[in-house]
Structure 1
């Protein structure tokens, strides 16, 4: 019997070194594998695959139409843990925790190539 284990999105990037540094130093990921234009990063039960690519022909950032959602428990505590590392990012790259009408509490971070990362927690009454 087969079993689905996890989803690991590919995140396109213009500089593998820059993105590895961002995800590891700002968000707490660990680089578990790396080769010329590819890296596999993990944070607890979450993983991503970075893929270095040439610039887009339209000049837009590689992450312009990319996003992914990381479900968490303890959203406010996680934000507080990351807040110091995120503080030096340019204005508009971090949105502090807030409640969504679809009963998720979220904070958002934009990576070095424009990919939008959602961190969210279910806040429905139990």
Structure 2
């Protein structure tokens, strides 16, 4: 019965969030409508929603999304080649729980983890 999930994450600045997800990570806008305090982006089967939260303190933001991929090594290489900053403790590696993964922090400190089962 369940078919998909679209996480909602906080953003302080819509333009900065749009820039990061569209120009750095390769997402595209969803739909034709623009909303002042809301942003929808999509890449392949992944859709993320962002709500404006101007008072957000990035040091206290614990927003996290785990995104599964079928080519984590290729995705990691493309991120590095495109100059996307990898989380300081999030370089690509195989984890004890059977996932090969890496991590990014967006402009508002939302943690994005990309992983693949090994």
> Normalised by the size of structure 1, how large is the TM-score?
0.83
Larger strand fraction of residues: 1
Number of residue pairs matched?
A: 116
C-alpha distance in structure 2 between counterparts of 1:42 and 1:107, whole Å = 20
**Deviation string, structure 1 residues 60-95 (Cα, Å, up to 9, x no partner):** 3177211010000010011111212234x4873x73
**2:103 pairs with 1:108:** yes
Cα gap change, 1:28 to 1:62, in 2 (>3 Å): farther
The aligned counterpart of 2:27 is 29
Structure 1: distance between partners of 2:60 and 2:19: 16
The SS at the match of 1:35 is coil
| Structure number with larger C-alpha Rg | 1
Specify the alignment match of 1:84 in structure 2.
Answer: 81
Counterparts of 1:120 and 1:41 in 2: how far apart (Å)?
A: 20
SS in structure 2 opposite 1:108? Answer: strand
Deviations 1:16-69 (A, max 9, x none): 11001101122111111431111111010010001111214xxx3177211010
Using a 3 Å threshold, how does the CA distance of structure 1 residues 91 and 12 change in structure 2: closer, same or farther?
Answer: closer
Change (3 A) 1:42 1:17: same
Unaligned runs of 5+ residues in structure 2 are none
TM-score by length of 2: 0.88
